[in-house]
Amino acid sequence: MNKKSSNIMALAPTTSNKRETVCIFGTGDFGRALAHKMIQSGYPVVFGSRSTQTSSLIPKDAEVLSHAEAARKATIIIIAIQRQHYNFLTSLGEILHGKVLVDISNNLKINQYPESNAEYLAQLVPGAKVVKAFNTVSAWALQSGTLDASRQVFVCGDDMEAKQMVMDIVRALGLTPLDQGSLLAAQEIENYPLQLFPMWKFPILLSLGLVTFFFLYSLIRDVIYPYVNENKDFSFFIAISIPNRICPILALILLALVYVPGVLAAIIQLYRGTKYSRFPDWLDKWMLCRKQLGLVALAFASLHVLFTLVIPIRSFVRWRTSSQIVSQALNNKTEPLDNTNAWLSDSYLALGILGFFLFVLLGITSLPSVSNNVNWREFRFVQSKLGYLTLILCTAHTLVYGGKWFLSPSSYRWYLPSAYMLSLIVPCAVLVVKFVLIFPCLDKPLTRIRQGWERNSKYSE
């Protein structure tokens, strides 16, 4: 398939849309993968290498020459070499003068060097126009064609014309160039591939912490307490009962935590009387990872649904149901239908189903393919209004679950309330504060502040 397409493209230079020759320094993994893609896109490619011997790995339509010879043949030279080997480029200073040098390199550590690799390259070859690009695309993705996750190519450079030439190549390869500005941005661009799910770190660490806490808490209340007090072995609760307690708790707390920064930001803005002073760093970071917090919450909610579905087939549940029936039969007495309980149970289930449905809807709208198709107002409406509605439904689902035992002293074990009661603290607090914030006496000044009004403006007459 690749052979076929590169043969077709090899015809391209004979047409009037002949593309300019591109030179690639380095016949390593990335150099070869990029050359392959470029030849497919109709670019004649010439390699600059320490050895002019060609090999079966090198695309057959590409020439392999010495660095100096190859550089003479092209205006754009892609440096597919590790930074630590850049020194030899100084000896090519004259040939490289006025050429566009594309730095694609990455480092092994964040901020490994005082300056970015691209700036270092610009210092080594001052006469060249250095552009940073391609470092966030992997050789594997270029070769395999599965570029969905890394279709974006961040580009930066001080020379507008050079940057435009590189962005044209990026587009011709079927990728999306994103102009990040001057070469000063290179350091940040070089750090991107080294960041391991930066926005996911806080939600995942927080979830791990909460899971550990609630697991131990439930273990003490539901397994150790009955064992010590009643000599009953409920250790099998660890498999389904406790996870099915932890999952909804985590889902509810994390969903509430998505809305805490918004509420805190509103309070800070009201207190300061302006939107022009910066929020504390931790609040900014918290705001940035709200989507990830929401998605982790959705994952826990989905697990809760799955755990709930298996309840009827659990041996313990079947044993409890049958023993209740047998004891009623033995006593020759049937329990009358408790209407209040029936209402509570059905409302609890209905609230859970509706809450989960909206939760899934929220998750779907946060997907880039969906959010790109709605305007900012629609997105805000779904994420804020529908989000709060989801939080209300899920909180109500938990409150109704507690039912009439909610504050009963018998639900305390060793003075510890049920874990679901703890899970209600954050969501209830968020909902109460949000409710207070929609009072006109607070909502009106907040809206004005968000429109740019300042209580103690330096610029007001």
| Residue ranges in contact with ligand NAP by CB under 6 A | 26-31, 49-51, 80-82, 85, 88, 104-106, 135, 138-139
Shortest reach from residue 169's CB to ligand NAP, in Å: 15
Pairing of strands 63-65, 45-48: parallel
Least Cβ distance, residue 108 to ligand NAP (angstroms): 9
Give CA separation, 258 vs 203, 252, 289, 391, 430, in Å. 10, 10, 8, 10, 10
**Which residue's CB is nearer to ligand NAP, number 29 or number 63?**
29
CA distances from 45 to 148, 168, 443, 453 (A): 25, 16, 62, 58
Q: Which two tokens stand for residue 358?
A: 């909206």
The tokens describing 117, both together, are: 């690799």
In angstroms, rounded to a whole number, what is the distance separating the alpha carbons of residues 422 and 216? 14
Beta carbon nearer to ligand NAP, 29 or 159: 29
Nearer to ligand NAP, 34 or 419 (CB): 34
| Cβ atoms within 10 Å, residue 124 | 18
Min dist. Cβ of residue 163 to ligand NAP (A): 18
CB of 113 to ligand NAP, least distance (A): 13
Comparing CB distances to ligand NAP, the nearer of 190 and 222 is 190
Q: 50 or 171: whose CB is closer to ligand NAP?
A: 50
C-beta of 298: minimal distance to ligand NAP in Å?
32
Q: Would you say 6 and 59 are in contact if contact means Cβ atoms under 8 Å apart?
A: yes
Given the complex with ligand NAP, which of 66 and 347 has the nearer CB atom?
66
Which residue of the chain is nearest ligand NAP when measured via CB? 28
Identify whether the C-beta of residue 42 lies closer than 8 Å to the C-beta of residue 19: yes
Which tokens go with 20?
């300019």
In whole angstroms, the minimum distance from the beta carbon of 31 to ligand NAP comes to 5
CA angle 245, 247, 252 (to 5 degrees): 100
Q: Which is nearer to ligand NAP, 26 or 387 (CB)?
A: 26
Whole-angstrom distance, CA of residue 50 vs CA of residue 67? 7
Radius of gyration (C-alpha) of the chain in whole angstroms: 31
Residue number with CB closer to ligand NAP (28 or 273): 28
Give the separation between CA 312 and CA 300, rounded to whole angstroms: 20
Task: Judge contact between 79 and 103, C-beta under 8 A.
Answer: yes
Residues in Cβ contact with 393 at an 8 Å cutoff, skipping those fewer than 6 apart: 351, 354, 355, 358
Find the shortest distance in angstroms from Cβ 301 to ligand NAP.
37
Please state the separation of Cα 69 from the chain's center in Å: 45
Closest contact distance (angstroms) between CB of 281 and ligand NAP is 30
